[in-house]
Copies of this chain bind each other. A is one copy, B any other.
Amino acid sequence: MLKGHQTWVFPNKPTILSTGTVVGPFEGKGPLAEDYDLIHGDLWLGQDSYEKAEKKMMEEAFEIAIRKAGLQKQDIQFFLGGDLLNQIISSSFAARTLAVPYLGLFGACSTSMQSLALGALLVDSKSANYVLCGTASHNTAVEKQFRYPTEYGAQKPPTAQWTATAAGVALLGPEGDGPKVTSATIGRIVDMGISDPFNMGSAMAPAAVDTLTAHFRDLGISPQEYDLIATGDLARVGHQIARDLLIKHDLEIPEEIFTDCGILIYGEDQPVMAGGSGCGCSAAVAYGHILNRMKKGELKKVLIAATGALLSPLSYQQKESIPCIAYAVAIEA
């Protein structure tokens, strides 16, 4: 049900029955290690390409989520997902393994909440019973495609972000135990003219602010409604900009409830420049760490605003700026 301009309210409150999170070795050394279902010691996952490793992470996350929900693969009716690789091959090839009806999405790093929002709409409108929503990213596969193969050893500025090697999926159902998806705000493209792919946090921050202000306006609520509001992958530089911009929009989010998945995923001792990014970052942090905190009773209502930078290497080479978007999903224990 549409409320305001761009927010869906889900009266039937679809349930997140289970989640699956799989990460690489570097993420496994981070502060959220205990929250992941599977930590790989090998960046290749035994595959002969990084792209295949990314696909394998997604397949493993599917399997874990399905098993944890006590379901079988054939119970799943739809898979909604995407990733950063060209033509979203990880998702499409993982969907081939899953062999269920598939809706491929592209929202770059915002795909986590884009897929959860659409998945919740499917379940809420009785267009599906069991839906898998998810995404993945692999550091070296993404670096190779968008910037340089890591073997080059290219230097990066402090505004750059580290693409997480991670997959996160949520299994939605119409009822059951688990947190409920109550609303979702669908973002618009916001582009403030930033064209530097090593400064995506700054490019994405205005999109996060646009979607967050729309969410509170459409629902007529204040940020204090939530115990935690997490942007996805703005990292340190972008998150501070978002904070400042929100104040300019007369929408101050108290510091103690406002965080960012790209800040949470790595420790202070990990050399990740401004912080984490990548499709799998907000997916693994939300479906691992944040939902675990909800299960422990530490959080009751959270809002996750995943952000995406919808550039391509070609649009950058053609001197285009970076169009950005954010999708915000509210989850209640």
Contacts and interface: CB of A to CB of B under 8 A. Distances in A.
A187 B98 CA distance: 13
A314 B83 CA distance: 15
Nearest to A97: B189
B312 A86 contact: yes
A105 interface: yes
Interface in A1-57: 1-2, 5-6, 8, 49, 51-52
Interface string A136-163: 0000000000000000000000000000
A323 interface: yes
Contacts of A118: 103, 118
A315 B2 contact: no
Contacts of A108: 87
A96 B315 contact: no
A82 interface: yes
Interface residues of A, number: 55
A286 interface: no
Given A99-B188, A104-B310, A92 B129 contact: no
Nearest to A185: B101
Nearest to A83: B106
Contacts of A323: 92-93, 95-96
Nearest to A1: B126
A122 interface: yes
A189 B312 contact: no
Contacts of A96: 189, 191, 323
A315 B186 contact: no
A66 B102 CA distance: 30
A239 to B, nearest CB: 23
B82 A106 contact: yes
Residue from A1, A86, A100, A313 with most neighbouring chain B CB atoms (10 Å): A86
A121 interface: yes
A320 interface: yes
A292 interface: no
Interface string A296-333: 00000000000000111111001010010100000000
A77 interface: yes
A58 to B, nearest CB: 13
B106 A325 contact: no
A114 B191 CA distance: 26
7 contacts: A82-B106, A87-B310, A99-B189, A103-B118, A104-B107, A105-B105, A121-B125
